[in-house]
Amino acid sequence: MKLFISGEWVDSASRETFPVANPATGEVVDYAAKGARDDAKKAIDAAKDAFKKWSLTASAERARILYGLAEVVRESKEALGRLLTQEQGKPLRESILEIESFANTCDYYAGLATKLHGTSLVITPGKVHADIVKVPVGVVGAIIPWNFPISLLGWKLAPALAAGNTLVVKPSTNTPLTDLKMGELANKAGVPAGVVNIVSGPGSVVGSELLENPDVRKIAFTGETATGREIMRAASSQIKRITLELGGSDPMIVCDDAELDLAVEGALWGRFRNCGQSCTSVKRLFLFRKIAAEFLEKFLAGVREIRVGNGLEPGVMMGPLNNGAQRKIVEEMVQDAVEKGAQIMTGGDRPRGREFESGFFYMPTVLTHVDYSSRIVREECFGPALPVFTVDDLEEAIEMANDTVYGLGSSIWTKDIAKARMAAERLEAGTIWINSPPIARPEVPFGGFKQSGFGRELGLEGLEHYLETKSIHKDISGNQKLWKYPP
């Protein structure tokens, strides 16, 4: 697949490509153009040029186009979903839900496009007035990871376009294909040429150009905390606006008065959806001592029923990890925990059988007796392995939950809503779910405390990050009564 720049499919300047492999089979799905600095520059120039007109387009027109994009994407959800599963690995049903979530985000921000407004102040009646208006930031560089290539594109593209910005998108080299397709669909929906450009290629090349080119005014980044640090450093030289959505190590607390069956389902969903490769996956599970044995029994039964396989096969509940490097890290984390005394309750290995030989599969894994210094606790475990802890009370649970450098999400399960609300105040995380697995919704701001990033995506707050505030002072008195030189 070629690069999508200025409304056209173009080869990279070098004509180089790279293979995109199916993580379930190892087969090449397609080749993507390997963008270089010059390609990124060309896309930035196109976005800068398109900004002149797009930023002056009526908000109702931008809304109409975004609604149209949502529809075009929904019409293609089956084909897009298949492609996403082929390059990312997640089960087809999850891929289709992801495509739908992109469309839902477009709908939400289409609605907001016509509600942007500033304020007007009367400072001195009849003499000095001021208008405070919101204006788009300019060209936005959107850097996307491989775990949710489409929904996370939507989180950036939809508010950026609603606010009147233009974009250069850099997908992950593991999952560039579906993102590249979205450029074409955007144009089909009426997004003018140059407003959305997609350049696949390495972060160190295409990403660096986005960071260093002064015509890019904002970087919207989702990815690892370590990469986020580099982005922050690089963005500082031009004081670029940045939003960083980084890693997490989300705790899930199950109290002794929780609806256990519901909480078990929540933990299965929370840890094993997308093969555990979600920033808000449940990464540490805390069970009140009184219900720990019963919960664990039900949970392990559920985990053992998870059918692992190629995401395109019907009935498969969990696909492979997206890439070999990621699986290796998960294996090393499990190994490290075991060396420090952990017990593997289920999983802890690759599945056996010919159908698994060429993919990055790993069995859903549950560990108990995990030492808190283990890597699986201290770092982000981006895969299907879960350490489980027993706690005496809420005090202990909250203390352990907060004992991490991350602060993305947290969940608490209890029938006592007052207790849950109190815990929500004390949990150090950008999002708290009460009796719910981690589900993001377009209406609700999303982002992290501590080293999970800063800034917010989604919701009204998400839109703010794509707008500058411009203050316009107006002296309508027509004379110099209010000021004189020298003052």
Binding residues (CB under 6 A) for ligand NAD: these are: 143-148, 152, 170, 172-173, 203-204, 207-208, 211, 222-224, 227, 230-231, 245-248, 279, 380, 382, 408, 448, 452-453
Name the catalytic one among 106, 279, 379, 381.
279
DSSP state at residue 192:
P
Q: Which is nearer to ligand NAD, 109 or 148 (CB)?
A: 148
Look up 297 and say whether it is catalytic.
no
| Residue 429: CA count within 13 A, CB half-sphere | 29
Which secondary structure element, helix H or strand E, spans residue 467, and what is its range? strand 467-475
Neighbour count for residue 339 (Cβ, 10 Å):
10
Q: Are 171 and 144 in contact (CB under 8 A)?
A: yes
HSE, side-chain direction, 13 A CA sphere, residue 403: 13
362 closest CA partner among 265, 272, 281, 268: 272
Give the shortest CB-419-to-ligand NAD separation in angstroms: 27
Between 247 and 309, CB nearer to ligand NAD: 247
Please state whether the peptide bond connecting residue 159 to the residue before it is cis, i.e. omega within 30 degrees of 0. Answer: no
Give the nearer residue to ligand NAD in terms of CB position, either 85 or 322: 322
CB 435 within 8 A of CB 420: yes
Query: Measured from the CB of residue 198, what is the shortest distance to ligand NAD in angstroms?
Result: 12
Residue ranges in 340-457 assigned as alpha helix (H): 375-378, 394-402, 417-426
- Terminal CA-CA length for the chain: 64
* 245 catalytic per annotation: yes
Non-local CB neighbours of 126 within 8 Å, separated by 6+ positions? 476, 477
- Give the CA radius of gyration of the chain: 24
Of residues 216, 226, 235, the one with CA closest to residue 37: 216
User: Which of 245, 331, 379, 380 does the annotation list as catalytic?
Assistant: 245
Smallest gap, in angstroms, from Cβ of residue 327 to ligand NAD? 13
Nearer to ligand NAD, 105 or 227 (CB): 227
Nearer to ligand NAD, 208 or 435 (CB): 208
Q: How far is the CB of 188 from ligand NAD (least distance, A)?
A: 24
63 Cβ neighbours under 8 A, 6+ residues apart:
110, 111, 113, 114, 162
The neighbouring-strand residues paired with 287 are: 254, 390
Q: How far is the CB of 457 from ligand NAD (least distance, A)?
A: 7
What's the closest the beta carbon of residue 37 comes to ligand NAD, in angstroms? 12
Residue with smaller CB distance to ligand NAD, 68 or 207 = 207
Which residue bears the tokens 């707050």? 461
Residues annotated as catalytic (active site), given as ranges: 245, 279
